[in-house]
Chains A and B, each alone.
Chain A
């Protein structure tokens, strides 16, 4: 699904990613953990094509496509989905319009006909249920005035609608209360399938109790410092990152 080879990236002259290698096979879920500022969001941004980063070395293959050569919208159409750590508010743009435009762009790329209003609403209702997003939120302006937790749920709702091949979740658990965490995780798990892979960025073991990863990577200072199975996350929960950063856990 996804192969990252020796990826180096800088922003504003600052070197952030310093040689990342990662192989994410079809159907697997990999967790990425790591201290604040280690480059987790940067990696997710670079994969999604956010402007402002310079790729100085390396390459990324996504289903055989050279991901770094594609515009952000092409990547999304081809099946890359980034659930934002900080979802963006779009006052004046209704969720319904936004999602319909997005879905029909993705469908067009896949060679499918656009959905009409009825079909779209039916699908939206079904998927909104998955993350228990109320009808009023579906109709409101995108994330405008949404609570932190509602924004995160809205991200997963969008993901469910667009049915991407590669889901990158950047701290989807932050800001969620205990019940919402269970709901959102259930939504994510419902999307797990043999043809869909996920990169789950999180600080907390708790999320990984719900979304059980096949592999856990520890990202430190722009490089993958260690790779293990789900037990690695439990170990980090106890020991922190001292071993990697040279600083003692407080």
Chain B
């Protein structure tokens, strides 16, 4: 079974990535053998206990080739996203489709080109930090293109770089794609990155994305990652950030739509004084499955990490939060705080939450906590007693459960877009946009 899945994707064949350096060929074949040896994760694998891949196994995915629909995809995405105040770059099935006006202070390269022209510039970083678990390894074995972005030291581009990923499956052939981003934020640079993953309607699609972020001494990176999928889309995201001394990283993950979404987020606080914030909002309806697996490793002293995920789970949807913070031996003056709060909106919805700390140090302040609750009947009655319909009262309370995190998103148009999307996904709340103001 597993091997059919893998061989459909082209694992096990000799890999046709011509002109690539030998270290990469080696990396790819290593990843491929690991996949063949270990196979697909099953419910017996602890980290996959709550996420079943069964729905993907029988699907004969074909890697997305180049198609003639780039322009169409871009206009479709423009329609979906509306306008915002960012510097956008569109990618279809993981391939950049034109660079537009090049922002100053940063270099943006096609990954495929970079691997031919200056492989030595990315060799120290590529696949060094991302997990090589199943989907990480699958991407390493199969990715064809993506982006390599370098923010030069001390630079502070004023606009966010917005990478708009569009999965564009064929109408009748289930399609997979392997976007990959390598971003280097050099010393004392400040940068804002947005990754949006959209899926066009079509056959089943599988987007296996790997994002590797390196933030050097004193660098600051603000990262927003949006998964706005549909009933046929599956998103497996691997995200790794490596933080040097005094660097600051904020990750906000918003998942609103997609049959299966699983994000693996790893942050490594490798230099003293680093600060890491991981935040997220997920809204799962219908039969959607959303899982966040986060790992923060405190390797150095004087580092702080703060984590807060808030979820809304309705219908017969299923959400998973599995977060771990490790504080290594010998580190001092650490702050590590982790929270996961969930609103269970239906009796048939399921939430598995597992926040935990693994601490091998006694000089720290640490906390973790998780809650799963229903809408508060007192609040509901209070709203209704003021004349507000029950369905609206529910929408107001549901939205307000996650808004503290959404409100921290810097870009106003993107905040509005997400509020609108969330309200459209709540029953009878489409016209409640003012709620978000």
Q: Please give the residue numbers on chain A whose beta carbons come within 8 Å of chain B beta carbons, in ascending order.
A: 48-52, 71-73, 75-77, 81-82, 84, 87-93, 97-103, 105-106, 109, 141, 158, 162
Contact B382 A105 (CB under 8 A): no
- Note all chain B residues with C-beta closer than 8 A to A158: 386
Cα(A141)–Cα(B399), bound, Å:
13
Contact B396 A101 (CB under 8 A): yes
- Note all chain A residues with C-beta closer than 8 A to B379: 88-90
Contacts A90-B379, A92-B401 given; does A100 touch B434 at CB 8 Å? yes
Choose from A50, A51, A76, A92 the contact partner of B386 (Cβ within 8 Å).
A76
Cα(A91)–Cα(B401), bound, Å:
8
Cα(A82)–Cα(B387), bound, Å:
11
- Would you call the interface of chain B mostly helix, strand, loop, or mixed? helix
Choose from A71, A84, A91, A100 the contact partner of B384 (Cβ within 8 Å).
A71
Cα(A158)–Cα(B400), bound, Å:
20
Which A residue's beta carbon lies closest to that of B403?
A92
Contact B382 A84 (CB under 8 A): yes
Contacts A84-B382, A90-B382, A97-B437 given; does A102 touch B400 at CB 8 Å? no
A-B contact pairs, 21 of them (CB 8 A): A48-B385, A49-B384, A71-B390, A73-B384, A73-B388, A76-B385, A76-B387, A90-B379, A92-B400, A92-B401, A93-B397, A97-B396, A99-B386, A100-B434, A101-B388, A102-B386, A103-B387, A105-B387, A105-B389, A106-B387, A162-B387
B131: interface (CB < 8 Å): no
Contact B381 A93 (CB under 8 A): no
Which B residue's beta carbon lies closest to that of A168?
B385
Which B residue's beta carbon lies closest to that of A74?
B387
Which B residue's beta carbon lies closest to that of A99?
B386
B110: interface (CB < 8 Å): no
Contacts A51-B381, A92-B400, A101-B396 given; does A73 touch B434 at CB 8 Å? no
Cα(A152)–Cα(B381), bound, Å:
17
B98: interface (CB < 8 Å): no
Contacts A92-B403, A97-B435, A101-B392 given; does A72 touch B384 at CB 8 Å? yes
CB distance from B386 to the nearest CB of A (A): 4
Interface string of B368-404 (1 = CB under 8 A from A): 0000000001110111111111101100110111011
Contact A92 B404 (CB under 8 A): yes
Which A residue's beta carbon lies closest to that of B377?
A51
CB distance from A169 to the nearest CB of B (A): 13
Which A residue's beta carbon lies closest to that of B380?
A51
Cα(A75)–Cα(B390), bound, Å:
13
Cα(A93)–Cα(B432), bound, Å:
12
CB distance from B86 to the nearest CB of A (A): 26
CB distance from B382 to the nearest CB of A (A): 4
Cα(A52)–Cα(B397), bound, Å:
20
- Note all chain B residues with C-beta closer than 8 A to A92: 399-401, 403-404
- Note all chain B residues with C-beta closer than 8 A to A84: 382, 385
- Note all chain B residues with C-beta closer than 8 A to A105: 386-389
